[in-house]
A and B are shown apart, each in its own frame.
Chain A
Amino acid sequence: MTNTLHRFSEHYAFEPKPSARPVENDFIVFAMATRDVNDDNLVEKYRTFARLALAHNPVNLGDATKGGIFRPDQATNPLAHWRRDDRPDPARVVEGIDGHTTLAAVFRTRSDMEGFVRDLKRADLGVSINISAPVDAAAACCKAAGLARHSVEFSLGFQGRVERLPDRAVLEISTMCGHGMVAHTLVRKLIDWVKEGRRTPAQATRYLARFCTCGVFNPTRAEELFEKTRTGAS
């Protein structure tokens, strides 16, 4: 789940401006068990995690070994070019859980995340629970749930040959799959298609979400970023 650590935002610009806007639509909570410590009855623990998450309007839910609520189709009907079934399928994620994995839920609002964390505290699953989000938001969430943070890991951004990276609009979308399965070049192509009116932001988002193998891609944030870049707004 280091794959959620380095999600790009203005705060990680190479010359960041002091008044960068806070990220208020991207909050991830994930569960991870440790072998021979808390992996007894694991399938049920993870399914409970997923079911509790579904009560708080997640925009994605993912099993790191199987995928998220949007997945590619291995035998597409050619009619998909005109009419494609791209509805999210959270039930498939829950039913597919079969053992060790990392399970993640992505939320659009802090209040949804806070409600979920309160439920997790009550459920006392015994597996490790982490929040990947702005650190202040995570700290506030802990406080609201009556929890003291155990550990924290900070993203320090990118260094080295940063000139090999694409522009901000592409990075903000592509780094939502930290495993790198959402290619910068595909994001660039879809930004152009949205600008040309060939696809809507929602359609472009669905294409990308299918490449994320663990379901931490935030389709709501991606749609908003596509909409912003559509008109060239900075």
Chain B
Amino acid sequence: MKIDQYKCVACGNCIPVCPVGAIYIDPVAGRAQVNQDECVECHACHRGMSKEHLWPPMVRAVRRVAKAFRFRFDPEPDICPTDALTPQELAWPRIVRRAFSDPLVPHESTGIHGRGTAEVKTNDVTGRVKEGEAGFVIEFGRPGVGARFREIQEMTKALAALGVEFEKKNPVTSLMTDTAKGLVREDILNEKILSAIVEVKVGLEQVPEILKTVRRVSRGLETVVAVGVSTRCDADGDERLSALLAAEGYPTYRGKTNLGLGRMTVEAGR
């Protein structure tokens, strides 16, 4: 993302809107700037702010007068008065930032928007996680911190060493060069994204070991890690996973419950 330096009137509205704090007012130029190394190309500023299309010199003049009299103008905080936020054409490898940060961009590897995974929410038709199995969704950079692929690779290497199975239909897996070693493409390791999910599947008996590994590796990272674990329920709707998680000291208050209402309805797919 860039900010048009002619249009920008340095109102500062876009500064708190940026999820990773990459926008600031340059004191010399007197305009807002984007720290390109920190910007994750999520487009929250461009898409989320409403826009006026006012004439920049007029807005600057009004602001100068108000400032001279120490008037506190109380504008709407989610409006860019001059439509100064300008998306850029992105090339590889920077383009992965947008793929993992802008929820309206579908991932090429899965065709799914957001973080690009279906995980357990379609388990009733995909059978992705079966009884006696646990599906881990290990998410980096959420909420609102961001992460670089170099940090994600630390986790994938540690998990690979445990012999886990990385979910094939997952955007991060599609960027791995060696799933047996957990290696991610070298040319994207320094790219910063808002969040990305690593998905692995193991037997329930391996859950404590995975949790300990994730915690140990997370402590050495510069970002936050959000973990979700899923399982298939039995015919009565009961499951064994929550007791395992509680025994390891993890909260199990909130979750996602698949109601099992999905079924094959496409005739050609039968």
Give the interface of A toward B (CB within 8 A).
1-9, 11-12, 16, 20, 23, 30, 32, 34-40, 64-65, 72-78, 80-81, 84, 100-102, 117, 120-121, 124-135, 138-139, 142, 145, 147-162, 164-166, 171, 174-175, 178-186, 188-190, 193, 198, 207, 210-211, 213-214
Contact B251 A157 (CB under 8 A): yes
Contact A210 B256 (CB under 8 A): no
| Closest residue on chain A to residue B227 by CB atoms | A156
B79 smallest CB distance to A (angstroms): 6
Q: Please, how many residues of chain B have a CB less than 8 angstroms from a CB on the other chain?
A: 96
Contact A150 B103 (CB under 8 A): no
Over the window 255-267 of chain B, the binary record of Cβ atoms lying under 8 Å from chain A Cβ atoms (1 yes, 0 no) is: 1111111111111
Please indicate the chain B residues that have their CB under 8 angstroms from the CB of A76 in the complex.
50-52, 79
Give 26 A-B contacts (CB < 8 Å), ordered by A residue.
A9-B254, A11-B253, A35-B111, A37-B126, A38-B125, A72-B50, A74-B50, A100-B111, A128-B121, A129-B258, A138-B255, A139-B237, A142-B259, A150-B123, A152-B242, A155-B253, A156-B250, A160-B219, A161-B222, A164-B145, A174-B144, A180-B142, A180-B194, A181-B19, A184-B144, A210-B50
A75-B51, A130-B258 in contact; A39/B143 too (CB < 8 A)? no
B183 smallest CB distance to A (angstroms): 21
Contact B48 A174 (CB under 8 A): no
B window 82-139: CB within 8 A of A: 101, 103-104, 111, 113-115, 117-126, 129, 135, 137, 139
Cβ of B174 under 8 Å from chain A: no
CA distance A101 to B113 in the complex (A): 8
Contact A150 B143 (CB under 8 A): no
A88 smallest CB distance to B (angstroms): 16
Contact A186 B269 (CB under 8 A): no
Cβ of B175 under 8 Å from chain A: no
CA distance A164 to B21 in the complex (A): 12
Contact A128 B125 (CB under 8 A): yes
Contact A171 B114 (CB under 8 A): no
Cβ of B36 under 8 Å from chain A: no
CA distance A74 to B53 in the complex (A): 9
Contact A155 B226 (CB under 8 A): yes
Give the interface of B toward A (CB within 8 A).
15-19, 21, 42, 44, 47-54, 74-79, 101, 103-104, 111, 113-115, 117-126, 129, 135, 137, 139, 141-145, 194-195, 197, 211, 214-215, 218-219, 221-233, 235-237, 239, 241-242, 245, 250-269
Identify which of A3, A32, A135, A186 gathers the most chain B CB atoms within 10 Å of its CB: A186
Contact B253 A128 (CB under 8 A): no
Q: Which of B76, B126, B239, B256 contacts A130 (CB 8 A)?
A: B256
Please indicate the chain A residues that have their CB under 8 angstroms from the CB of B235 in the complex.
148
Contact B251 A37 (CB under 8 A): no
CA distance A156 to B186 in the complex (A): 30
Please indicate the chain A residues that have their CB under 8 angstroms from the CB of B53 in the complex.
75
CA distance A165 to B223 in the complex (A): 10
Please indicate the chain A residues that have their CB under 8 angstroms from the CB of B119 in the complex.
2, 153
A34-B122, A213-B103 in contact; A156/B245 too (CB < 8 A)? yes
Contact B231 A151 (CB under 8 A): yes
Q: Which of A39, A40, A135, A211 contacts B257 (CB 8 A)?
A: A135
Please indicate the chain A residues that have their CB under 8 angstroms from the CB of B103 in the complex.
3, 64, 179, 181, 213-214
CA distance A58 to B53 in the complex (A): 34
A38-B262, A147-B259, A211-B48 in contact; A156/B120 too (CB < 8 A)? no
CA distance A6 to B241 in the complex (A): 18
Contact A131 B145 (CB under 8 A): no
CA distance A183 to B103 in the complex (A): 14
B131 smallest CB distance to A (angstroms): 10
Q: Which of A11, A39, A180 contacts B266 (CB 8 A)?
A: A39
| 8 tightest Cβ-Cβ pairs between the two chains A and B | A150-B260, A153-B230, A128-B262, A148-B237, A160-B218, A211-B48, A149-B237, A138-B257
